[in-house]
Amino acid sequence: MGLTKTEIFTADQNKIAMLAKAFAHPARVAILQQLFQANTCICGDLVSEIGLAQPTISQHLKELKLLGLIKGSIEGTSVCYCIDTENWASMKSLILSFLNQDLDPTQDCC
């Protein structure tokens, strides 16, 4: 049906899944890498450095903004996007707690 049954999962499980979607598409990975590395974070620069149309980049930026991972500020006619370092850090710690799970050592299966 294409509709995720969020009701049956824990808040943590849903949050991990939501945040993971941020980098579950190469365009958003590329955008985030650019924002970390670039000397500039103007929307137009992202459009020209990544090979997607401007509305497509705008849409990905919107999703990242909705998740709180980036923020944008208007500079004249252009818009400057940046990593929201606080939210990035809390996202990172949630994902890390998931990735760093250890296997039960008493267990010996498969």
The footprint of a copy of itself (CB under 8 A) covers 4-6, 8-10, 13-14, 16-17, 20-21, 23-30, 32-33, 36-41, 50-52, 71-73, 80-83, 85, 92, 95-96, 98-104, 106-107, 109-110
Q: Is the Cβ of residue 13 or residue 93 nearer to DNA in the bound state?
A: 13
Q: Are 91 and 9 in contact (CB under 8 A)?
A: no
Q: Are 62 and 70 in contact (CB under 8 A)?
A: no
In angstroms, what is the minimal distance from the CB of 31 to a copy of itself?
A: 10
Q: Is the Cβ of residue 44 or residue 82 nearer to DNA in the bound state?
A: 44
CA 27 distance to own-chain centroid: 10
Phi-psi region of 52 (alpha: psi -120 to 50; beta: other; left: phi over 0): beta
